[in-house]
Chain A
Amino acid sequence: MGKKIFIDFRRCIACKACEVACEMEHGEARIRVFEFPDLTSVAFNCRHCEKAPCMEVCPVNALSKDEDGAVILDPLKCIGCLMCGLACPFGVPKVDEYNKIMDKCDLCAHRRAEGKLPACVSACPTEALKYGDINDVLWAREGRIIAQLKDIGDRTNVLEAYIIR
């Protein structure tokens, strides 16, 4: 499974550093921060789906997966038919009005080629955005929860008592 950008919405403070960093790299921001009335916020970008509907419907095969698993648009093949935008359940591919073709997140292919993180992940001051393999991200969270439980257990013997029972 390829690496993707994972979002820890607890950490997002809606500062939009990701949007601006993306805009600096690509001219337009391909990630967006959504803010909700209860002050929750979440940055959202292309999910680079394992079975990507955009790829499946593209009539000219302009969309493909690169070696890291990112769904990449080939601007020379794209005819701007909007099918990918229609098929995407998240509404991610957008029309580039100037070139009349589609535009979408490529997980900063040019940065990854240089061994760098995608710009939005690089910038995110709270590390609400993480770039990695889903299993690594899940393991990191699971590991933290286990560590916390162990810590509580060490301090109170609760865990020990629980295990014994």
Chain B
Amino acid sequence: MAEKLVPVVCPWCSVGCRFYIVSVNGYPKKIEFDYEHDTRNHGKLCPKGVSSFQYLRHPDRLKKPLKRVGERGEGKFVEISWEEAIREIAQKLKEIREKYGPEALAFLGSERCSIEENYVLQKLARALGTNNLDYVCRMCQSTAVAGKGMVLGHPGLTNPFEDILKAKVIVLWGYNPAATNPVFFGQYIEKAILDNNATLIVVDPRKTKTAKYADIHLQPYPGTDLAVALAMLNVIITEELYDKDFVAERAEGLEELAKTVEKYTPEWAEKVSGVPAELIRKAAITFATAGTAALLTNEGVNQHANGTRTVMALTEMMVLCGYFGKEGVMSGAIPGAHNGMGAGLMGIEPDALPGKFPLHAEEHKKRIEEVWGFEIPEKPGITYVEMIDAILEGKLKALYVMGTNPAKSLPNLKKVEEAFKNIEFLVVQDIFLTETARYADIVLPAAAWFEKDGTAISFERRVQRSFKAADAPGEAKPDWEIIVMLAKELGLGEYFNYSDVDDILREINRTIPPLAGATPERLKKNLQGCMIPCPDESTETPRLFVQGFLTPNGKAQLIPVEYKEPGEVPDEEYPFWLTNYRLVGHFHTGTMSHRSKSLSKRWPEEYIEINENDAKRLGIKDGDLVKVETRRAALVLKARVTPHIREGVVAVPWHWNFNYLTKDVLDEYAKMPELKTAACRISKVEG
């Protein structure tokens, strides 16, 4: 038995933990911790990381291409050969393009796949003449990308993880890293708090495992964070707590911003958000006078119809206090998946070229077209949620889904199911028969993360190589190989002349200047990887904004932000705020974690958290069945009565059926759906 240790990047969240797969003749036997290299996780892993090889050999793995024989959604398929599957897909895509034009086609990429695979998929879409491209960043980070982009010119995490250890104040806003990024929390945030006496401010309607460590805990109603942020801006400006030199030198627009936030006093914010005005004032003063601060956000801020505005207000708070470009500060949003940042950088977006350059950036477009050898379509495509509407309107006829599960992750799922029942042609390429794949015409079996070579970019902007540690089951193939096969069948083979992932990465090095230095050779040699931008092989960029911001004039833009309510607020009929959260043992729609024995056994089912006073009023006891109802749908869940959620708010872990309840209202800038809140009513199920 040849046992070998293969270095991999963890396939779950975006911290970029490294470890080994112990592989025996291509079979993943177990994991081993990597304490030898200078890894970001210092050898440590969370429960998902430790058990991350379990789902690889689950009997549900797709092993052969499938063709639908039953009704859509029924899940009845027959096995077909790869030749037949690829031929049929190519034929149908060509047919639809000829009949309705290229804009009747759309492609979804994946944060679960490597940068190489996302790059190849977006290239195929553009070779076919459409920019109808997107991936799940639209549902978790797009508001942060838009908001920070407008203020700073770049959405990335600004500093290396070590800098958080030197921060005097840490603000975790709509972010519960103790559950979502335990290694990042344990190795950096918790050490800053317990060992280096950093003050922690948490903003979350729930008292989470993270909030347990908080010195100040603000509990706004879901989606009213913007009110708290505006009030903090008000305090910082009116009490002149901001860094005057920094603002004078490196920002513009203070006067307009000051005028706008004048009316957003802490007392006003208390009425809107339910957070005591005095606590908001205390948080603002603590934050502004700390000297160094880290402000990290996540879905609690992002997934709202006012998400971009909130991100802008929070970023402006950081700018005002001068918390950029030095040690001991940090600003960023934390993508939920291991290659969330990398996939976006590959241009798998309807209005962005590889490198995240705008679609109309002529100079970049020309450079990329020269490398590719064909023209990039002019017209911007449509975003993720808009694709569902386009299917229902009959404009979008074919959808190609790579490694993502919209039939469970999108809001207002009944509408999504309706769309997938009516689409003309749906292809799903994945490792399991997901909820989405059940509606597909053709299902293609893909290799999982440990079963292929590939590169991922962590939220620290670190590019890291993961190596093939196991053989894929049956006839499953790496995603990039499948796309190349399809491109050849479509007659586009000349543009997809790759024999391995290194060929693709070399083309990425040529196409995307900030990634020019992340060559296959460099990444294979250095398991630690390098932090982008890395314009050549000997450089990397640990800290952003040391000199200036990436806006056209190098100054941060303090754009005035007005308050806007979340997409749906409680009323007499639906009096409760409903929100969701993640469990430490599950990942997104559960495609993999629900199939990991050690995880599903510990976190087996969904439930609803209700404040003890609300529960008493409604006669609900711990363990009772409760009906939770929104204007879209109803679920029956077990009640968990707790003091750790604020009155008037109920919360459900989102890995099961939560999205039947949510509304598909979108953020005006980023088109992010409001996944984080809805108005609901609850009642005890008798009997």
**Chain A interface residues (CB < 8 Å from chain B):** 10-11, 13-17, 19-21, 23-25, 39-41, 116, 119, 122-128, 144
Contacts and interface: CB of A to CB of B under 8 A. Distances in A.
Given A15-B47, A16-B585, A24-B51, A126 B185 contact: yes
Interface residues of B, number: 33
Contact of B31 (A10, A15, A24, A41): A24
A124 B44 contact: yes
Interface of B: 30-31, 33, 35, 41, 43-47, 49-51, 178-179, 182-183, 185-187, 190, 194-195, 207, 209-210, 212, 584-585, 598-599, 602, 644
Contacts of A16: 47, 584-585, 602
25 contacts: A11-B190, A13-B178, A13-B190, A13-B209, A13-B210, A15-B47, A17-B49, A17-B50, A19-B598, A20-B50, A20-B598, A20-B599, A20-B602, A21-B47, A23-B51, A23-B598, A24-B31, A122-B33, A122-B44, A123-B45, A124-B44, A125-B41, A125-B46, A125-B185, A128-B186
B50 A21 contact: yes
Nearest to A41: B209
Nearest to B211: A39
A61 B50 CA distance: 34
A59 to B, nearest CB: 34
Given A11-B194, A17-B182, A125 B45 contact: yes
Residue picked from B46, B179, B187, most chain A C-beta under 10 Å: B46
Given A11-B194, A13-B209, A39-B209, A122 B43 contact: yes
A39 B212 contact: yes
Residue among B35, B46, B50 facing the most chain A CB atoms (10 A cut-off):
B50
Contacts of B584: 13-16
**Which of A10, A20, A39, A119 gathers most chain B CB within 10 Å?**
A20
Nearest to B183: A125
Given A24-B31, A126-B190, A13 B45 contact: no
Contacts of A21: 45, 47, 50
Contacts of B178: 13, 15
A123 B44 CA distance: 5
Nearest to A122: B33
A25 to B, nearest CB: 8
Nearest to A21: B50
Contacts of B31: 24
B195 A144 contact: yes
Which among A25, A119, A144 has the greatest number of chain B C-beta atoms within 10 A?
A: A119
Nearest to A127: B186
A39 B47 contact: no
Question: Which 4 pairs across A and B sit closest by C-beta, in order of nearness?
Answer: A126-B186, A125-B186, A20-B47, A13-B178
B186 A20 contact: no
A123 B186 contact: no
B190 A24 contact: no
Contacts of A119: 50
The interface centre, meaning the residue of B185, B186, B210 with most chain A CB atoms within 10 A of its CB, is B186
A44 to B, nearest CB: 16
